[in-house]
Amino acid sequence: MRVLHFFKTYYPDTTGGIEQVIFQLCQGGRAFDIESQVLTISQNPYPARVQVADHLVTRAKENLNLASTGLSMRVFGQFKEMAAEADVVHFHFPWPLMDLVHFATAHGRPTVLSYHSDVVKQRTLLKLYGPLMGRFLRSMDRIVVASPNYLSSSETLTAFSDKTVVIPYGLDEMAYPKISLEKIHHLRKSVPEKFFLFVGVLRYYKGLDSLLNALEGIDYPMVILGSGPEEQELKIQAQKLQLRNVLFLGRLDDEEKVCLLQMCYALVFPSHLRSEAFGISLLEASMYGKPMISCEIGTGTTYVNIHEKTGLAVPPGSPLALREAMSRLWNNHEEAQRFGVNARIRFQELFTADRMCASIAQVYNELMNAAKD
């Protein structure tokens, strides 16, 4: 079976939660006789086709970017050409240009849509986009959402619950790099013996301003791994608050990330808006048996991190609540350790790539069989 994944960003240009999910689907699908390709757009698409692990990525030229929406003229023709050779087209929402491409090309292939997030930030533009979005979602054969939390709390998905299925994101532990002693020794020189860790792109919805405010006047070491559009503002904020134990490491390679995940005391994930639909970093922390602190925002973050079982869930945008949760974990090693053990168990039960890919393969096969009837 040949599947075409379509999203606005992907490796090697960008890294993020959705990119990681698509990567896991492409790689893990091979065990179910699924051959995947990815079509995306890029500001610098040279070469136009690149190999990422065991799958091919095609990049069309991005001509313009408005309100976080990449626009490309070339992608229309490229999509039509690639969809003609695919058995199933798998869209990754949201991205308004994708809706236009779908209707303009009239490709006629069975469609799956991974609903990664509501449209949250661009509420004004949503009034214009809403009719197209509704038509696009209605046209999908199947919609996939990553948690029952998100399905029950999304106003948009309510109208499509009859064709929506919950398939949690999953990770392949074997795909993560093994850590060398040299790398461990190198990072040990850079970070404290005991520290909290944040991993992710530094975006507006990550709640890192609240995290920095929570650290004012206390000495819990905090390591922030990642880069992004909010990086400079956060560094300025840390300076103004005179935070002595906050370390911004920027974007590191996968081996260094895994090393820090294994070394950290706990993961802090303060995302406070529904743009954070799941939190791949929470999955990674679970995979390595780490306790977690996250916010209750009605999304998959508290499907991964169960309050008082795998960690602590606090109200969003509350520096005081974050501080109290960090203090509780920091001063209760046995409880933190118990949360970490439970997180590892929950990961193995629900969040493996094999489980995700098997469920997606079942959806693909159902649509293929329906198309034959």
**How is domain 2-172+352-372 classified at the architecture level of CATH?**
3-Layer(aba) Sandwich (3.40)
Distance CA 73, CA 57 (A): 18
C-beta neighbour count of 329 within 10 angstroms: 22
Cβ(117)–Cβ(271) under 8 Å? no
Cβ(71)–Cβ(42) under 8 Å? no
Q: Please tell me the predicted confidence (pLDDT) of residue 275.
A: 86
Cα angle at 301 between 4 and 27, to 5 degrees?
A: 30
Distance CA 357, CA 101 (A): 26
Rounded to the nearest 10 degrees, the angle between the axes of helix 74-83 and helix 96-105 is 60
Distance CA 186, CA 189 (A): 6
Per-residue pLDDT of the chain (373 residues; tens, 9 = 90+): 999 999 999 999 988 889 999 999 999 999 999 999 999 999 999 999 999 999 999 999 999 987 677 899 999 999 999 999 999 999 999 999 999 999 999 999 999 999 999 987 766 677 888 899 999 999 999 999 999 999 999 999 999 999 999 999 999 999 899 888 888 888 888 899 999 999 999 999 999 999 999 999 998 999 999 999 999 999 999 999 999 999 999 988 889 999 999 999 999 999 999 889 899 999 999 999 999 999 999 999 999 999 999 999 999 999 999 999 999 999 999 999 999 999 999 999 999 999 999 999 999 999 999 988 7
Distance CA 313, CA 292 (A): 8
Q: How many helices (H) and strands (E) does the chain have?
A: 14, 16
Cβ(336)–Cβ(265) under 8 Å? yes
State the pairing for strand pair 266-269/292-295.
parallel
Which CATH number is 173-350's, of 3.40.50.720, 3.30.70.260, 3.40.50.2000, 3.40.228.10?
Answer: 3.40.50.2000
**CATH 3.40.50.2000-classified regions of the chain:** 2-172+352-372, 173-350
DSSP secondary structure letter of residue 242 = T
**Which two tokens mark 303?**
């499907």
- Helix locations, the chain, DSSP H: 17-28, 74-83, 96-105, 123-139, 148-153, 181-188, 208-214, 231-240, 254-263, 280-287, 301-304, 319-330, 333-350, 353-372
Q: Please tell me the predicted confidence (pLDDT) of residue 122.
A: 65
Residue 180's contacts (CB-CB under 8 Å, 6 or more residues apart) are 255
